[in-house]
Amino acid sequence: MHDEVLAAGDNFLIPNGTFIGELIIFAIVLLVIWRFVLPPVQKALKDREDMVRKEAEQSRQAAERFEQAEAKYNEALAEARAESASIRDTARAEGQRILDEMRQRAQAEADQIVQRGDEQLAAQRAQVVAELRTHVGELSTALAGRVVGGELAPAARGNANVDRILGELEGNG
């Protein structure tokens, strides 16, 4: 049996009619897929790639707009803070000026009140001294006369003594 030559139909290495038919059908299926299925799939993939690219570009543009808006916001915030600090400093200076002005007015009023008080005291003192000069001499002479039990020297001499004592008091006061 070993000597027998194998027939062409028994050798699996030699293609037979079935293989050629299968090869033709595979080529037809491959051609149909290549012609009718692959183009729509490629178009769908290209459309999807374009959409992703477009969305990425829109996302990049949105990020740039966001950065610009954030920069404007930070700039406006810094400007508002600077303006706030300026207003606060101006208000402090104005408040200090008003406070100084009020202190000056209060000091001026206090000085006027003290001056009027001094003037009133001086006027009252002068009035009291004048009254004392007129009445103390007479009263002291009359009182001394009652104590002694008789009439004393004339009132003019007593008035001179009173004037001298009051002059000494004015000089000390």
Q: Tell me, yes or no, whether 12 lies in a domain.
A: no
Q: Tell me, yes or no, whether 150 lies in a domain.
A: no
Structure token pair of residue 28 = 């037809």
pLDDT in tens, the chain (173 residues): 444 554 555 677 777 778 888 999 999 999 999 999 999 999 999 999 999 999 999 999 999 999 999 999 999 999 999 999 999 999 999 999 999 999 999 999 999 999 999 999 999 888 888 887 777 777 777 777 777 766 666 555 556 666 777 677 777 76
Q: Tell me, yes or no, whether 36 lies in a domain.
A: yes
Domain total in the chain = 1
Q: Tell me, yes or no, whether 160 lies in a domain.
A: no
Q: Tell me, yes or no, whether 152 lies in a domain.
A: no
Q: Tell me, yes or no, whether 109 lies in a domain.
A: yes
Query: Residue 108 half-sphere exposure, CB side, CA atoms within 13 Å?
Result: 6
Alpha helix (H) residue ranges in the chain = 17-32, 38-148, 155-172
Q: Tell me, yes or no, whether 105 lies in a domain.
A: yes
Structure token pair of residue 128 = 């009291």
Q: The domain containing residue 133 runs over which residues?
A: 18-141
Count the Cβ atoms, other than its own, within 10 Å of residue 20. Answer: 10
Q: Tell me, yes or no, whether 8 lies in a domain.
A: no
Instruction: Look at phi and psi of residue 11 and say left if phi exceeds 0, alpha if psi is from -120 to 50, else beta.
Output: beta
Distance between terminal CA atoms of the chain? Answer: 167
